[in-house]
Amino acid sequence: MPARNLLTLEGTSRADLREVLDLARDYASGTVDRPLAGKIVCLAFFEASTRTAVSFELAARRAGADVISLSERGSSIQKGEGLIDTIVTLDSLGADAIVLRHPAAGAARLAALHTEAAVINAGDGRGQHPTQALLDLHALSGHLGGFDELEGRKVAVVGDVVHSRVARSIIPAFRAAGMELAIVAPQTLLPLDAGAWGLPVLPSVDDAVDWGADVLYALRLQKERMTGGSPRVPSVPEYARFYGVARRHLAGGAVVMHPGPVNRGVEVAGDVVLDASSLIPDQVASGVAVRSAVLALSMDVARSRVAA
Ligand code: NCD
């Protein structure tokens, strides 16, 4: 059975999403015992990460895998070794899955060409971040009472879309789950080809609330990707006024989501981040079971040890 990579959610289907989320629910409820026992999972993180790195590690360990962690510092990448040689080395050492975070879009796809191991994209530059979108769907369907409850819900994706791999994964995934989407962003934070999504673009979070958003999905202002000198937003307080989610936006029952890390008071008001209307802690908590499910599916051992 060839490895099943998870590189992108472009082209994903409702059935694919349901398969991962159903399995994640089983894993979260503890009915599957150590499906990854005997498997070697390599975590190769060449860009900063807290939530994704920690939850992948927990996900792999809880599911029984042997885990190797590699970062730029302390590895031969520091000596100039390239991505492909690093991947080939991990392959030779017997990795069954390689979880890769990398600053270059396309890095995971490139890696997958050079290994028999399953490659899981844990974020590649402005490319994709598929497990983030999957855990978001897990958190949201948990909040709403099931996967079928996602159908027809309205989600406003707010903020720095142009630099966001999260946006590039949640847009196809949320659509495949049957949700209706809109974007809330200034022109300077939209990709040139944003029109290809065919989504309405709204001028402020207030307008998203008027549109009937059930979910306000805020994206981080990714200053580390704003290269070239000219600022993308004239001032951060002004940005926060039009694109920041505040308590008043949640009064009608909408919930706020954010992949983290949050710039408190910019994308989401400080007093709202951990509020009852915030799914941000649920998103983080969903990461472990969802990533165990993704790893197990990628190595085709998902239900090999389902308890009787
Ligand atoms: C995101 C990422 O790194 O792409 N965070 C995450 O994985 N939880 C989003 C971000 O950094 O803005």
CATH at residue 245: 3.40.50.1370
Taking CA atoms only, the protein residue closest to ligand 1 atom 1 is: 259
DSSP class of 195: G
Strands, E assignment, 125-229: 154-158, 180-184, 201-202, 215-218
Residue 229 pLDDT = 63
> Is residue 23 very low, low, confident or very high in pLDDT (cuts 50, 70, 90)?
very high
* Averaged pLDDT for residues 229-255: 90
Ligand 1 pocket test, pick from 57, 132, 286 with the greatest ligand atom count within 8 Å of Cβ, gives: 132
30 and 167 share one domain: no
DSSP class of 278: B
Number of domains in the chain: 2
pTM score over 0.85: yes
* Averaged pLDDT for residues 171-197: 96
* Ligand 1 centroid to residue 261 C-alpha, Å: 7
Mean pLDDT of the chain: 93
> Is residue 2 very low, low, confident or very high in pLDDT (cuts 50, 70, 90)?
low
Taking CA atoms only, the protein residue closest to ligand 1 atom 12 is: 220
Q: How far is CA 232 from CA 57, 101, 179, 225, 235, in A?
A: 35, 25, 29, 11, 9
275 and 135 share one domain: yes
157 and 279 share one domain: yes
* Ligand 1 centroid to residue 135 C-alpha, Å: 13
Of 1-5, 29-33, 80-84, 186-190, the least confident: 1-5
Q: How far is CA 287 from CA 35, 195, 199, 234, in A?
A: 17, 31, 28, 35
